[in-house]
Structure 1
């Protein structure tokens, strides 16, 4: 019930904030928390402690009865998670663990600096990626679930490098433009020449508060535990601040597609 309770609390907080006419930044200032914390709590994700949730409840116009109810729900969810912490929290190489994380998560955040994220690859890209094909095949089907939220950040370098001949890259980049139009997907790119606030040594995918998926050359690793998830989630949010989206994203992708067509012709 932990995840369901957190989502219920988040839905109630978001609805109250919007009725009050507050932006996420304004609610964060009132509660004395960061704006990313507001976003995570409203999305039903876990944050470092229940105190942040309690502060958000306190600054919104709930009745005393409703405030008490939401506070108890939040405390119960956090207390349950603490007492039932997985004994294998840390690093796992269990096959299929990453897929289970993806299919169960409500919010998925992915960053890649060398390749197109696995969830966004067209079949030809998956095949050309050879050893990666087995783990990535079929992951894109997860995107059709509009009950999930997906946030992706890639560097421009990831759009301009590819496995194999690259004959499929114009279609791959066109697919990215299509996916970016989906209501449950946010897709940003960090253009060449941008300074990065953090320098991750590899790509990663954060799945709610449950864990982080990392693809290596020989294995698929999952990191669990609050320490790991918080570190990767904070890194993603920092990278997201320097990524361009919307029309700017489309321009970067279209420019890369034009350049690639000239190379592969």
Structure 2
């Protein structure tokens, strides 16, 4: 959530940028930061460090006095945050911590480059992946909450690989298309042949601005604290920018489903 000083700071920077007829991408290049960082600062949200905010201030045509005032405002806001110790900030391997975070979040973002996101798996996929059919019921209840907002991005490669025999994949892909029609769900896919702005080494799930869930081969890590959350938020925004949604998402998924159906028919 944005606090008062950062909201005021963000609005001031946005007004200055628009007064210059400067896009967020141009300002990001001029300041030496990422475009998602510009968006987050302008919306009053915190980023990884105050230095990025100072770079944005320096890149805009403020007077010397105004630039100094805004820089001090940013430093005071970030100093206040760093002085507030949080017992849950860091890395947790406690079983169930991630699920608790997910069920309490109002906004959930997820990226996967190898598998269908856990919260979108049909029971057969979940069982083949080792999660058990019971886990599907838990995620289904989470998705049924219309008060939550969900955004997921997957690579096309993640849709063309599967655990087990894969006989359930046509139903799994139809399940994705059905969820894409929900008002509180946005699904995107990064098609084959499209370059990525970065290649995350693993999938991840963001819960509000509170934490990140990262599933490894042996455990599920829950990362909290701004130094962990902000880089994942920036990565998700960058990946979203190269994903297709809506009708284009449907076309890619339907194409994958047709290919997999033909493959399954050939081997059976």
Structure-1-length-normalised TM-score = 0.73
Q: Secondary structure of 1:130's match?
A: coil
Partner of 1:60: none
Is 1:140 equivalent to 2:140 in the alignment? yes
| 2:194 equivalent to 1:194 | yes
Contact 1:45 1:209 in 2 (8 A): no
Instruction: Work out whether residues 154 and 190 of structure 2, in 8 Å CA contact, stay in contact via their aligned partners in 1.
Output: yes
Partner of 1:109: 109
Residue aligning to 2:178: 178
Report the Cα distance in structure 1 between the residues aligned to 2:120 and 2:206, rounded to whole angstroms.
15
Displacement of 1:111 in angstroms is 0.3
Q: Measure, in 2, the Cα distance between the counterparts of 1:45 and 1:121.
A: 32
Q: CA deviation at 1:100?
A: 1.3
**Paired position in structure 2 for 1:119:** 119
Q: Look up the match of 1:62.
A: none
CA contact (8 A) 1:118 1:140 kept: no
Structure 2 length-normalised TM: 0.72
Matched with 2:238 is: 238
Give the number of the structure whose alpha-carbon radius of gyration is greater: 2
Give, in angstroms, the shift of residue 84 of structure 1.
3.9
Offset of 1:133 from its aligned partner?
5.8
Q: CA deviation at 1:87?
A: 2.9
RMSD: 3.7
Corresponding residue for residue 160 of structure 2: 160
- Other-structure match for 2:211: 211
For the structure 1 residues 145 and 134, does the alpha-carbon distance in structure 2 shift closer, same or farther, using more than 3 Å as the test?
closer
Give the Cα separation in 2 of the matches to 1:134 and 1:83: 42
Contiguous gaps of at least 5 residues in structure 1: 14-24, 56-76
Quick one: structure 1 residues 125 and 222, their matched pair in 2 at CA, closer, same or farther if it must change by over 3 Å?
same
Change (3 A) 1:181 1:224: same
* Secondary structure in structure 1 of the residue aligned to 2:201: coil
Alignment partners' CA distance in 2, 1:193 and 1:125: 26
SS at match of 1:110: strand
Count of residues in correspondence between the two structures? 239
* TM alignment of 1:1-265, pairs within 5 A: 36=36, 46-47=46-47, 82-131=82-131, 138-265=138-265
The CA distance in 2 between the partners of 1:138 and 1:148, in whole Å, is 15
Counterpart residue number, 1:66: none
State the alpha-carbon separation in 2 of the partners of residues 145 and 38 from structure 1.
31
Distance 1:138 1:217 in 2: 21
What is the alpha-carbon distance in structure 1 between the residues aligned to residue 42 and residue 125 of structure 2? 35
Pair 1:42–1:173, CA change in 2 (3 A): farther
Deviation of 1:85 (Å): 3.2
Q: What is the CA deviation profile of residues 7-30 of structure 1, one whole-angstrom value per residue up to 9, with x for unaligned ones?
A: xx8xxx9xxxxxxxxxxx79xx8x
Q: Unpaired runs of 5+ in structure 2?
A: 12-22, 57-76
SS at match of 1:152: strand
User: Residue 138 of structure 1 aligns to a residue in which SS?
Assistant: helix
